[in-house]
Amino acid sequence: MSYSLGLDASTQSISAIIIDVEVGEVVAEGSVNFGERLPHYKAPSGFIAGGEGGEVHSDPLMWLDALEILLEELSGKFDLSKVSAVSGAGQQHGSVYLNEKWLAGVRNFDSNRSLSEQVKPLLARKTSPIWMDSSTSAECREIAEAVDGDEVMCAKSGSVAIERFTGPQIRKFYQCNPSAYDETARIHLVSSFLCSVLTGRDAAIDTGDGAGMNLLNIQSWEWDDELLDATAPDLLEKLPEVKFGESVEGEVSDYFIQRYGFSEGVEVTIFTGDNPSSLVGMGASEPGKVVISLGTSDTFFAAMKDVVSDPDGCGHVFGNPVAGSMSLQCFANGSLAREAVKDRFGYGWDEFTKAFSVTECGNGGNLMLPFFSPETSPRLDLAEPILEGSKAFEAWENADVAVRACVEGQFLNMKQRVKWMGLSTDVIYLTGGASKNDAIAQVVSNIFQTRVERLTVSSSVALGAAMRAASNSLGKVIADLEKVFCLPDENGKIHPNVSESVYAESARRINELISKNS
Ligand code: ADP
Ligand code: XUL
């Protein structure tokens, strides 16, 4: 019997899945929501509210406390001594700043004390900027100028300089707080930070998550000297190594053996970003499948044969943790925008869902650009959505029409923004917290005019991590694991039920709205 554990440290929660790779079954799952379980961190949606100028930070100690609760609860459901391989994934771009005590400190955690208590004195910066942070436009401009513009930036790093990416975030830290930057001995991503804690060794960054930093060269898959110099001084020595997805970074450390009952000698595969991990967990690590993830952010991604880039500068190329590369487009106004409309009318998800049965596809021409906060695709700095339609709709007086307008606006925009990938597919795989909602899935299917499928296992990020660990440490082949774990839910298939022409006018108008407000 071989069991593999996958972890998913995402924006609002940390989750785990344990799979039996011989029998082909999920044997245990668990999740800890930061806002619900750790309210004293004052981060109801996983980030510290009230940041100014587009700043969005989270507390890395909260992630550690949540990891401990998760493992404690998981060990009550499953004997963790049976786990023989581990890997994980983290929300992308977020960074953790450690001081010179980190390198020794990470090797010597005392199992009688909590991780958060022991990591606290190792931090060179109390909080971590995360992917929702849009406060670094000036730094993006400076970095791009220093390397001769967006085209060079994009060719080198797979993306133009992007506010939420780690390089611009590091530059801002260096410029705003040079002495704390000097005291920083190591900068980790969420993924490599947690991998380090788990192994008790300073772990490497993988090419999937590393490409979300504006620092990694996507041709050589090494840190790019010119990008490092354009970002901040002495950066190379503050970064961990970069490695490919097949790297085994160490073994589960004594801390976790003693506290949660893991066995000795359990290998830990390098962690990756949540989206690259989901690519694997959705069975899409070979080119040919398209995935839409409806999490805190909505993302659209696919494994790529050829590396092309987005002429609008909003899309990205990341390493594929199995092999090659992947394209990705991120929409910052995902679940939190849907929730904002839901909450505005005091709706629960049931009422939100029912709104689609009392409104029509195309919404009688009522259209919303549903950006409640700065959007990344397209880059638009809105704080309020734009509504265009009847007077009552524009005055937010019709809840059901607003609900449909929000979701239709999201996917009309998504369809336009991902055209640069040049993908054609006859099925879209949906995952993430909102993917279980049939009404949302139907809108996706109608707007893309494509069949939509969900998989039987919904936690694709954690599953991808468990599959990667099983492939690297337990001699399993990813394609074989896909055949057992990445099965479509036969009852979850959704087909388009209106013709393409229903959305033609709305598609034209959403583009017009975007141009008008750019
Ligand atoms: P992340 O991984 O980014 O933390 P998840 O993939 O777990 O996020 O998705 C969480 C989101 O799922 C919540 O913010 C919530 O808006 C959304 N969600 C949960 N249930 C439903 C539902 N029934 N319909 C639509 N959205 C839902
Ligand atoms: C991707 C992105 C988000 C985060 C959080 O570029 O910023 O999808 O990975 O999920």
pLDDT tens by residue, 355-410: 999 999 999 999 999 999 999 999 999 989 999 999 999 999 999 999 999 999 99
Identify the residues whose C-beta falls under 6 Å from ligand 1. Answer: 10-13, 295-296, 335, 338-339, 349, 432-434, 436-437, 440
Choices 3.20.20.70, 3.40.630.30, 3.30.420.40, 3.20.20.140: CATH for 3-276 = 3.30.420.40
Instruction: Indicate the top mutation candidate among 8, 299, 329 to test ligand 2's pocket, ranked by most ligand atoms within 8 A of CB.
Output: 299
Nearest CA to ligand 2 atom 6: 330
Mean pLDDT over residues 99-111, rounded? 98
Quick one: which atom of ligand 1 is closest to the CA of 432? Answer: 6
* d(CA 89, ligand 2 centre) in Å: 11
**CATH code of domain 284-454+488-518:** 3.30.420.40
Nearest CA to ligand 2 atom 1: 330
Mean pLDDT over residues 475-497, rounded? 96
* d(CA 421, ligand 2 centre) in Å: 18
**Nearest ligand, CA of residue 272?**
2
SS3 303: strand
**Cβ pair 100, 185 in contact under 8 A:** yes
Which residue do the tokens 């001699």 mark?
Answer: 475
Q: How confident is the model at residue 310 (pLDDT cuts 50, 70, 90)?
A: confident
Kindly tell me if the per-residue pLDDT of 307 is higher than 80.
no
Q: What is the separation of C-alpha 375 from the centre of its chain, rounded to a whole number of angstroms? A: 15
**Nearest ligand, CA of residue 353?**
1
At 489, list the tokens.
């839910």
17 has which bridge partners? 6, 29
Identify the residues whose C-beta falls under 6 Å from ligand 2. Answer: 10-11, 91-93, 131, 164, 212, 273-275, 295-297, 299, 328, 330
The domain spans of the chain are 3-276, 284-454+488-518
* d(CA 298, ligand 2 centre) in Å: 8
* d(CA 12, ligand 1 centre) in Å: 9
What percent of the chain stands above pLDDT 70? 100
Q: How many CB atoms lie within 10 A of CB 487?
A: 14
* d(CA 218, ligand 2 centre) in Å: 18
The per-residue pLDDT for 1 is 74
Q: How confident is the model at residue 425 (pLDDT cuts 50, 70, 90)?
A: confident
Quick one: which atom of ligand 1 is closest to the CA of 296? Answer: 3
The per-residue pLDDT for 311 is 83
Q: How confident is the model at residue 424 (pLDDT cuts 50, 70, 90)?
A: confident
What percent of the chain stands above pLDDT 90? 95
Q: What is the separation of C-alpha 359 from the centre of its chain, rounded to a whole number of angstroms? A: 32
SS3 259: helix
Query: For the segment 436-447, what is each residue's pLDDT rounded down to a tens digit?
Result: 999 999 999 999
Instruction: Indicate the top mutation candidate among 296, 342, 350, 443 to test ligand 1's pocket, ranked by most ligand atoms within 8 A of CB.
Output: 296
The per-residue pLDDT for 116 is 98
Q: How confident is the model at residue 293 (pLDDT cuts 50, 70, 90)?
A: very high
230: DSSP letter: H
| Three-class HEC string of 277-291 | HHHHHCCCCCCCCEE
505: DSSP letter: H
Helix ranges restricted to H, 147-224 = 150-157, 166-176, 178-182, 190-199, 207-210
Query: For the segment 125-165, what is each residue's pLDDT rounded down to a tens digit?
Result: 999 999 999 999 999 999 999 999 999 999 999 999 999 99
The per-residue pLDDT for 49 is 86
Say whether 284-454+488-518 and 3-276 share the same fold. Answer: yes
Q: How confident is the model at residue 272 (pLDDT cuts 50, 70, 90)?
A: very high
**Nearest ligand, CA of residue 91?**
2
pTM (two decimals):
0.95
Distances (CA, A) of 59 to 42, 46, 461: 10, 9, 21
Mean pLDDT over residues 449-456, rounded? 96
Separation of alpha carbons 204 and 239, rounded Å: 9
Q: What is the CA radius of gyration of the chain?
A: 22
- H or E element that contains 399: helix 399-417
The per-residue pLDDT for 177 is 98
The per-residue pLDDT for 305 is 84
The per-residue pLDDT for 414 is 98
**Closest alpha carbon to 318 in 204, 218, 461, 189:** 218
Q: Which residue has the higher pLDDT, 369 or 288?
A: 369
Instruction: Return phi, psi of residue 115, to 5°.
Output: -65, -45
Question: What is the dihedral angle through the alpha carbons of 501, 490, 292, 404, rounded to the nearest 10 degrees?
Answer: 50
Mean pLDDT over residues 311-338, rounded? 95
* d(CA 160, ligand 2 centre) in Å: 16
Supply the mean pLDDT for the chain: 97
The per-residue pLDDT for 134 is 94
Instruction: Return phi, psi of residue 83, to 5°.
Output: -70, 130
* d(CA 277, ligand 2 centre) in Å: 12
